[in-house]
A = this chain, B = another copy of it.
Amino acid sequence: MSDNRPIGIFDSGVGGLTVVKEVAAAMPFENIVYFGDTARVPYGSKSKDTVTKFSVQIVKYLLKKNVKAIVVACNTVSANCYEELTKIFTDTPIFEMVSFGVKAGLEATSSQRIGVIGTEATIRSNAYERAFYDAAADITVFSKACPLFVPLAEEGWTENSVAEITSEIYLQELLDKEIDALVLGCTHYPLLLNCIHRAVGSVKVVNPAVRAAAEIKTFLSTANMLAECVQHDRKLSFFVSDFTAKFNRISKVVLGKAHIAEKVDLEV
């Protein structure tokens, strides 16, 4: 038994490409359809209502593409709208990032003191805190919104002094709490991995997408929903709500190849 329909992955913009990277690496035969809402990015500074409305439009679009499962790459959507999405769309498995970030974070910490960074909307939602406290009573979670990380990553300033100092300013507060693991609660943040590593020293840095890809593979395998192991190349398809050169540039940085995205209009 196999299922060659694509996996749908979506994000507010280009950041979700870091999730595509991990899913594509873990499941080399899977077709993937990606949607990035580049016309309305960023979600992280917007309200729950607005982000929910946008997400529902995108899931409907992906379902029209005949996807077998949906991965909410965006942590802001994961943190604010996942329950709503699973209530509306009951026929398709939907995965989100927060639960995988929590599982990986719990494995990484020894001191039970964990830091979480994300967008304003993700941090304000307290979704990571709630999930951590539900999973482990003895954990202490410290969270911090880092709104400049997304524009820095998109500007390509991932290694310069501005990225260094910004990382130090944002992360010092978490270091003062003596965390020993840090969850990257935003798909853009793996692009700043080197700076973040330097800023936090020996603290273990956790990218939820790595764990997500492994667990989604297990789920699809158990459900007999993995694609066939065929010789020809699987297809990665990219759709965006606005076309900008940034997509090509960042897809090259993240995926090693400048993929072309097709522009589609969801607001019709």
Q: Interface of A with B (CB < 8 Å)? A: 38-41, 45-47, 50, 147-148, 150-152, 154-155, 157, 160-162, 165-166, 169, 241-244, 246, 267
Contact = CB atoms under 8 A, between A and B. Distances in A.
Contacts of A162: 148, 162, 165-166, 169
Contacts of A241: 50
A195 to B, nearest CB: 13
A176 to B, nearest CB: 18
Interface of A, helix, strand, loop or mixed by DSSP: loop
A38 to B, nearest CB: 7
How many copies of the polypeptide does the oligomer hold? Answer: 2
Given A46-B39, A244-B47, A152 B161 contact: no
Given A40-B40, A46-B244, A244-B47, A161 B165 contact: yes
B242 A47 contact: yes
Nearest to A54: B39
Given A47-B243, A50-B242, A148-B157, 12 more contacts: A40-B40, A41-B45, A45-B154, A46-B242, A47-B244, A50-B241, A148-B155, A148-B162, A160-B169, A162-B162, A162-B169, A165-B165
A233 to B, nearest CB: 30
A50 B46 contact: no
Contacts of A155: 147-148
Contacts of A45: 41, 154, 244, 246
